Structures are given as C-alpha cells and as structure tokens.
Structure 1
C-alpha cells in the first residue's frame, strides 16, 4: 500500500470505512496537524450507531482521546506527577524486579520470556509508580479485555466488563489515596483533583490510561525486541560485547518491530489534503506507525535491523502533542531487562522456530509466548554468571 500511495481508502472488519496513511512524512503531518482530532466525537458518522456507554466512557476522558485545551490541561497535570525524577528513582526497583523474575527460572535452563518477564515486569513497575497493589492475573485479564479489537458483540461485552471492573478498582484506590496520600503518581493525581484541575471521570480515566499504556505496549515491545535480537545473532553479539549501546538500540528495535504497528486513530475536523488526497471532514484516519517506520523514503534498508543506525526518527512513541508520556519509563524497563538478560544468559536461544511463536490477539503487535533455552544459572544473589552445576 505504501509503495502505491501514502494515503489509501480502506475498510476495517468489512464495516468501518477509514483512511490509512502509510508514509513517514505523511504520518508525521497527521500527528502534528490540529485539524486531525484524537476525539472520537469528531466523527459522528462512526459514533452514530454506538450506544451512549460505548460512545463516551471514562476511557474517552484521557490524554489519548482529547484535544487542546483539555489535552494540554491534563497532560500538564500528569506531567507534574509523572516526573523524570520519579522515573529515575525507580531504576533500582526495576532492577530488583527484573532479577527476581529471572531468578524464578534461571536454574531451569529454559523459560518463557513473556510469562516470566515481559508480562509481569511492566505490570509490577506501573503498580509501583501508581502506588496500587500488584495483582498479576487480575490486571492481565483486564488488559486483554480492553486491548482486543471490537470485532463482535462478545468482545465488546468483555471490554465493557473489564472497564467496569477497572473503574471500580481505581475508585477504591482513589478513596484510599484521599484518606492517606503517598509519594506516588495516583496520590499526585488525587491532589490535583482536590484542586479541581480534573473531574471525577478524568481522574479515573487517567488512572486506567496510565495502567494500560504503562504495561501493555511495553509487554509487547519487550517480547518483540527479544525475538528480533535472538534471530539476529550478529547484532546480538555486538550488544553483548558493548552493552553501553543498548539504550541507542532501543530506537532501532522499536522502529523494526514496535507494538503499535497498525496505527493510531485520528478524526478530521475539516476537509484536509494529504499527499494530494483530500480526506473529508468527519472521517477516521489510521496512522500506520509500522508502515511509517519501514518507509524506504525515510530509512535506508528499512527491512534490515541495524542497531547502529544513525538519524532514526522512528514513530514508535508517537509524535507531536501525543508523544508517549511514559517513553522514559518504557526505555528504563527495556534497557534494564535487555542488559540483565544479555549478562546473565549469554547463550540464550529460541526453543522453537520463530515461525511457531504464537501472536497475541488484539490491536497491538505482540507475542503470547517466547520459549527459550540457556545454560542453567544460579540466582542473582548467588552469582548470576556461575553455572548451576
């Protein structure tokens, strides 16, 4: 599609007409042009058939689905709570969590990098950041329910149930923070609410958004990155030889196989020309991040993983005013996980052919399982580089 034209008319699930933008420069233009709204209400043709509770709910009261001035106000509030200092202070705890998770299967000589690391790590970290109790299975069920595409009635009902349960959970946590605030992001948001900077629905919506965006995308990205490295042994060997290059490698891994591949939705507030095509007012536009990140007009040899790639304006964390607020946290988790894995398991290999790795269903590009084998190791406390034998 991208080779034919950077803008296409398409149909999602055989029902919803959309415009798909695939070129890198064109995607940047959509993500920075205020004529493209993040608010679903800007597309009445699409919302007309939806019941009120699905057309407008707490998830619509978030940064992801709002425009200025509401977006500007809420981003400033979350930004004051989600500071670089707070993220940096989490670094030792992130390392502890990674070590604990790897210790659980280090002596086995095999493990599932999704179930054992990529899934629990970001959930544990975002719970620490928000200051809420860690409940792995409950949070996983909620995220799966909300990350599935609305393809049928049963899926929509599952999403409604997950949203209702998450709303109840965060209302309980908000009440606890009001009674006894702590040094965490949710307490800071509750304080902002007390100052009347955010509404009740916005407060709950922001908490749910931070939880979902703080772990689901990181889960998918970490699994994708690990598979990319394990299937490119030359690149992997270079990183093992020079782990200091891992922070820069994150951008290339995100460009090569990021979790937000199909794209993010925008809605036209007026007729807008893009690359010679006029997209009418009130239309849904899908910004195809995966296609943009493989655009040969922007990236030489785009289908090649090159961890030394210079000038890498990948769009995996978004662009413009909706650039991912949690990018620094995601980088911290990915860099810590990759650095520790490469150090502790230098001979790690995939246990099955890459073609046999099962994909996660839903809107994000990710994997359900990544089974690996390696020489058994002692725990981190006993010396991670010693053989268990």
Structure 2
C-alpha cells in the first residue's frame, strides 16, 4: 500500500479519473484514503475485492457501528442514514426492505411504461424549437423526479423542494456542513410528517400509503418511515438523472456508438449497462465500517475503519473487462457492480433501467440532430461530498424535433 489518497480523489475526481485509478490499482487493490478527513479509511479499487466486500458481513452499513464521534454527528444531522434499508444490516435490512420490495419487482414496474413514455414526450415537447437546452435541468432531473413522486403518491408540484432537499441530504454527513444538513433534515421531516398524517386519513394504493400501513402495523418506526421516503426520493431521481446525463454525453462523444443505436434501438438496454459500467451514476458505494480487524485485498483493515468501495474503479478493472477504457455499447458479457451486489443490490434497478430505456430510445428517435452546444472538455462534473457521479450541466443543441 502506498500514499494516502486525498479527499479530492473521492469528492472531485474530474472528467477522466480512470487513468489515475488504473495506475493506483496496479500497485495495490486497496489504498488508505482521507475520507472523512482525519479518519482511518480505505479505498477499494479492484473489482474482485469490491465484490468480495459487498458480501462481507464484517463490513457494516449501520451508523450504530461507526466510531462514536462520527456516529453521533451522523445521527444528529442526517435523516438519510438513520433508518432505511440502504444503511442497515440483516436482519434489520430485511425488515425495512419488506414494505417496499413488491413495488419494485420488474413485472410491477413494467406497468409504469405508458406513463413514463408520456412524461418523456411531454418534456421533449417543451424543448425550444431548434434551440439550446441544458439536458440536466430540462430533462434528466425532472423525468425521474416526476416518476418517483407519482409512484409514491406525493405532490409533483412540490418537486423543487424535493430536489433541493435531495441534493443537500445526499451529501456525506461526515464531511458536509452540519447546519445545512440539519436544516434540510428538519424541513423534510416537518413536510412529510404532515403529509403522512393527511395520507393516513385517506389511504390509497400508492407507495406512500403502503409505507403508512407498514408504520401503523409497527413494521416501521416514525423515523424509519421518513428515512425510507427520503431514500426513495434520492435514489429514485438523482441516480437516474446522472445515468441519463452521463449516458447522453458518452454517446455524443462516441458518434459511432450513437449511430449504431439510432440504426438499431434494440441495442439500447445493452448500451445502458455499458453506460453504467463506464460512467455510472454513483462513483462510490454507500457507507461501510469494519466491525472487526480484517484483511481486504491483502491489506490489513483495523476495526472501526471506513471502507469505501469504488464502483467507478471496479467498472474499469482490466482483470474483468477487455479493454475497459473502450466505450462499447455492444459489450457482452457486461456484468458490472453499479447497482451493488448481493444483499444490497439496488431494489430500484428495474425502475431505473426502464426509465433509461424509454429516455434514450425517445431522445434518439425524436431528436435526430441532437448535438453538444459546447466542446466536450467544457462539460463540468459535479464536485461535492456525495457518492454521486454526474454533470453540472449538459448544454445541447436540439435541432429537428420529430412528433411523439
């Protein structure tokens, strides 16, 4: 193991971090990393070790197992990490997953196809004729936020609030400004406590009603209910928005691949997997801490250490992928870890894939002249303290728009 990786390796990897990661991985699959600053922490960069770590019960996702000074800070300031399946180990994870598991089965999600298609077409219809747009704000962000709001049964007109809360509360509670996290957590809690009370008086078939029923059956606590709603909003829109933005940029930067998909839209599901491998929506897996002394990738990990699993690095590992720096929408097989692995495989993956398929197929069909409005190297990636990997903006020229 070599030098301690700086915090910026986590928070601000830039537009092309893969060459530096390749060099680091070639020296050792696991490196010390200063995240959160001053903590004992390790970055796992090799695909096989990341996959191994996903299934290792010695790595806990519950804040109860954090060192005390971090545990108290996280519990006080961040609603996200205190009570949902994304930050729980079995058997707690199993209990928290049960109330929402059926809603994300592929067959259930497939019923949303007509409505998702309508939302996609409505957003494209709103683009200016032959003008320029920022795909992130005009399409990539509103699409999944509308979809998850409608699926939950919460007011779509309040989505600017949800988007703001989601941005703040998806930040790392051990690095981000405590006052901002606490304020957003309190605002979110107040809003949804009132909405839950209203829904309880008029239960329906929406997902929020199912969560309220689970709370009333003592399957969830009040805090777990609110934390689960927050997880669904964040995971339900931010990651999909990143997939659409990142994927569109990749296709425009690889016109041969874009032309292939225009000629054969049947290749879009495979292209989505390659987008997720090459430039996935999350650069890192969520919080993990070693509950005992252990070894990963030949490196000693002391009890109480943070262990960060790099999904970005895992997707570019030459031990798993032939020529991993080649973006190839026909790559097969293409088994990636962008949705996690094992117990913590993303429950929302079917909904994310469906939205991606409809979004890309419709953009490619209806906007045959879609092009970057700035040089590719001018497109900026977001640098923050979250796990997210996405664009600040994606300026595009719309060109012709074909009918829906």
Matched, 1:10 2:29: no
For 2:184 and 2:102, how far apart are their aligned partners in 1?
Answer: 28
Q: Which residue of 1 aligns with 2:119?
A: 97
Structure 1 gaps, min length 5: 385-389
Structure 1 residues 186 and 49, CA, compared in 2 at 3 Å: closer, same or farther? closer
Report how far residue 361 of structure 1 moved: 3.4
Structure 1 residues 152 and 84, CA, compared in 2 at 3 Å: closer, same or farther? closer
- Is the Cα contact below 8 Å between 2:64 and 2:71 reproduced in 1? no
Give the length in aligned residue pairs.
Answer: 378
Q: Which residue of 2 aligns with 1:368?
A: 392
For 1:333 and 1:342, how far apart are their aligned partners in 2?
Answer: 14
Render the CA deviation track for 1:50-72: whole Å, top value 9, x for unaligned.
37513x74631011111111101
Structure 1 residues 108 and 139, CA, compared in 2 at 3 Å: closer, same or farther? farther
Instruction: Report the TM-score when normalising by structure 2.
Output: 0.89
Matched, 1:33 2:56: yes
Of the three residues 63, 67, 79, the one matched with 2:101 is: 79
- Is the Cα contact below 8 Å between 2:196 and 2:212 reproduced in 1? yes
Report how far residue 150 of structure 1 moved: 4.8
Structure 1 residues 203 and 52, CA, compared in 2 at 3 Å: closer, same or farther? closer
Of the three residues 129, 138, 152, the one matched with 1:116 is: 138
- Is the Cα contact below 8 Å between 2:73 and 2:173 reproduced in 1? no
Q: Pairwise CA RMSD of aligned residues?
A: 1.8
- Is the Cα contact below 8 Å between 1:148 and 1:361 reproduced in 2? no
For 1:144 and 1:57, how far apart are their aligned partners in 2?
Answer: 13
For 1:43 and 1:20, how far apart are their aligned partners in 2?
Answer: 17
Structure 2 gaps, min length 5: 1-23
- Is the Cα contact below 8 Å between 1:111 and 1:373 reproduced in 2? yes
For 1:144 and 1:310, how far apart are their aligned partners in 2?
Answer: 34
Q: Matched residue of 1:59: which SS?
A: coil
For 2:329 and 2:169, how far apart are their aligned partners in 1?
Answer: 33
Q: Matched residue of 1:16: which SS?
A: coil
Instruction: Report the TM-score when normalising by structure 1.
Output: 0.92
For 1:17 and 1:141, how far apart are their aligned partners in 2?
Answer: 31
Q: Which residue of 2 aligns with 1:311?
A: 333
For 2:342 and 2:48, how far apart are their aligned partners in 1?
Answer: 13
For 2:128 and 2:267, how far apart are their aligned partners in 1?
Answer: 25
